[in-house]
Each structure stands twice: as C-alpha cells, then as structure tokens.
Amino acid sequence: MSVGYVTVQWTRSKRVYDFVIAGGVLAYLAVFFAIGKLTWGGQQAISDEILLIRALATCAITLLHIVLCIGPLARLSPRFLPLLYNRRHLGVTTFLVAALHGLVVLGYYHGFGRVNPLVSLFTNDIDFLVAGSLPFQILGVAALVILAVLAATSHDFWLKNLSARTWKSIHMSVYACYALVIAHVAFGALQSERSTIYPILLAVGVTTVTALHCAAGLKERRIDSRSSPAIAWVDLGDCREIPDGRAKSVRVAGQPRIAVFRSGDCISVVRGVCAHQGGPLAEGRIIDGCITCPWHGWQYRPADGQSPPPFQEKIVTYQLHNHIGRVMLDPAPLPPGTHVEPARIGSPSDVN
C-alpha cells in the first residue's frame, strides 16, 4: 500500500528477512567452498572458479526451490506467512546469485578465446538437433532472462502500472523458469557428475515443489467445491459462526472468491482477492477497523472496500440484506469502492 514509491519500504520484518537471506547465502557459499576444498586437495583440487560456479549454481537452485515452496506452504498454513511477506527479496536474491553464476561461467568457460564470450555463448554447444547431446547452457540463459524480468518487475511500481492481473501473469512464468532450470541441470551437470546423489536431490526438490502445489491446489478446490449457484440472492449461512474480526470464504458460481467479514454484529462482504497481489482476503483479519490482507497487510474498509486515506486502492463490494435472521447476498458485484451498509447478525428485517 503506498501513495508514492520508494525503493524499499523498510520495516523491521523486512530487515530481519533480508539479513537472514544475505547471511544464509553467504554461509551457503562459504560452506560449499570449504567442503569442496576439503574434499579434493593437492593435485586433485578442483579449480576455485569451478567451485565458485558450482556453489553459486546450487545456491540459486536451492533458493528457487524455497521461493516456490513458500507460496503453497502459506496457503496450507498461515504460520508460514512471515516467510511470504518479503518473498520478492528472496526472488531478487535468486536472480542475483544466478546472474553471478552466469557471469563467472561466461568469463571462465567462454572467455580467453577467439570470439567474444557472448558470441561464444550463443554459438558453441547450441545445436538441439544433435541426438544425445542436448545443449544445456542456452536453457540456463533462458531461465536467467525470465528471472531478470521477474526481478526487474518485482517492485510495486510495476504491479500498479501493469495491473495486478498482468503482473501476476508475468510472474507465473517463474514455473517456466523452474522447468528450464531443471532441464539445464539434467542436460548439463548431471551428464558430467557420476554420483547418484545429484539426480536423487533434484528429484526430491521437484517432488517437494510439485507435492506442495498439489496439496495447496486440493485445499483451494475443496473451498471452491462449496460454491452456491448464481441465483438472485445467496444465503450466506449462519454468520454467527464467523469469529469476530475474521472472515469466511464463499464461492458463488461464476464469481471470484467472496470474503464475508464479521466485525462485532456487522457483516460486510467484499471480493476475496486483494488488489495488491491477489492475496486471499478471507484469510485476513480486521485490524483497526480495516480488512487486512494476510500477505502484505494491505487494508480496506469493510463497508466500502476502499483503502483508508491517503491510500486509494478499492475492491468490489456486494449488496446485502437480512431475511428472517439470515444474511442474504446479491452475487452481482458492485463497482469497487461502493458503500454498502453492513448487515446485522440476527436482525429480522431488511437493512437496505
């Protein structure tokens, strides 16, 4: 949430988050380098440049796995939300580490030759038509380009100016990037190293990412399966079951998820998708009288779906009325920011 743009809106959480990322990356690189030196020394020592290439490569792929696992973990349990809060910094770090890997490879493997290193990169070992020798570096380049686009557009400036939908579509390409990285490793490093531990580790990583996404998808599907038909008025059920300051998610056929919030005896209904990054508002809370997104803390007033001044974000609201003690919803969405008088639990008469 912002009315202007700064490079990073630092909070204590973000500082701690970034400290852990930076410390973790440096510790990983140091441990890898030290173990590599201890494993093979003397005449059998691995070149420092190659150790660095490998340390950066395995660090980047490990970071990418963590980035991809945090999303579904946070969907499965809100306790992982602190890891999601500043995930974009983890993504940018992944890009920086991968870019460093690419630069060292470019200088070491493609430098010192008869052609410019970039020319070498795009002319040596790029023939996809040779059976049994699929090129792998070009796959890594493609993955790095995607990571660069994701890192460059990670700021809220792009989110605002590209629209949340376009931004999300672009950032879903992280899965294409992941597939390219796996192919890059499978057709590259795994063809050179003989230990079976490497394909096993890669398989564990792919399985973990896939399993977590499937589990999160199944959870979402269960929520969606309880959708009501898109009739004139939808009974929201017994709203007294909703704890004060919290919400439940309702699905109406043909509509995005709807969040039914309770604040005291008042019921307000908004579209359950945050205007920021599409966070699940129904899993949020009411804090200081505002609906608060669980992902990044963006806030909206329950009655009109507008962010409190000076912020200007708006989300869709829905018309409500009471019918014999039940809260009824008109599934037709109102324009974002439209004021709707909250329904009251237990009130027998129409409110609106």
Partner 1 sequence: MSTDQNRHDEFFVGYLPTPQRVRRFAIAASISLVAGAALVGIVVASMQQSPGMGTWDTSTATTFDGLALVDPYAMLRVKDTTASGGVSTILLVSEGKFGAADRIRPFHGKAVRIRGTILRRDGRRMLEVSSEDNAVELLNPRESALSELAPAPRSEMESPVSLRGEMIDPKCYIGAMKPGGGKTHKACAQLCVGGGIPPMFVTRDSKGRESYFLVVLQDGSAANEAAIPFLGDPTEIIGELELRGDLNVLRIDPKKIVRL
Give the residue with the Cβ less far from partner 1, 88 or 320: 88
Q: Which residues contact 118 (CB under 8 A, 6 or more apart)?
A: 106, 110
Give the residue with the Cβ less far from partner 1, 28 or 158: 28
Task: Pick out residues in 28-57 that bind partner 1 (CB under 8 A).
Answer: 28, 31-33, 35-36, 39-40, 43-47, 49-50, 54-55
Using CB under 8 A as the binding rule, whether residue 113 contacts partner 1 is answered as yes
Reading the block at residue 268, the tokens are: 């307000």
Give the residue with the Cβ less far from partner 1, 96 or 189: 189
Task: Pick out residues in 60-99 that bind partner 1 (CB under 8 A).
Answer: 62-63, 66, 78-83, 85-86
Task: Pick out residues in 115-144 that bind partner 1 (CB under 8 A).
Answer: 115, 120-121, 124-125, 127, 130-133, 136-137
Give the residue with the Cβ less far from partner 1, 108 or 157: 108
C-alpha to C-alpha distance for 83 and 263, rounded to whole angstroms: 28
Using CB under 8 A as the binding rule, whether residue 59 contacts partner 1 is answered as yes
Using CB under 8 A as the binding rule, whether residue 263 contacts partner 1 is answered as no
Question: Per-residue x/- marks for partner 1, 195-234, CB under 8 A?
Answer: x-xx--x---------------------------------
Q: Count residues binding partner 1 (CB under 8 A).
A: 77
The answer to whether the Cα torsion of 266, 272, 275, 277 is positive or negative is positive
C-alpha to C-alpha distance for 316 and 306, rounded to whole angstroms: 9
C-alpha to C-alpha distance for 116 and 279, rounded to whole angstroms: 46
Q: Which residues contact 92 (CB under 8 A, 6 or more apart)?
A: 151, 154
Tell me which of 75, 110, 248, 271 binds partner 1, using CB under 8 A.
110
Task: Pick out residues in 7-26 that bind partner 1 (CB under 8 A).
Answer: 9, 11, 13-14, 20, 23-24
Using CB under 8 A as the binding rule, whether residue 292 contacts partner 1 is answered as yes
Q: Which residues contact 130 (CB under 8 A, 6 or more apart)?
A: none
Using CB under 8 A as the binding rule, whether residue 304 contacts partner 1 is answered as no
Angle among Cα 340, 342, 343 to the nearest 5 degrees reads 125
Reading the block at residue 351, the tokens are: 């409110």
**Crossing angle for the helix pair 87-109 and 48-76, to the nearest 10 degrees:** 160
Give the residue with the Cβ less far from partner 1, 60 or 260: 60
User: DSSP H helical segments within 172-294, as ranges?
Assistant: 174-186, 189-192, 197-224
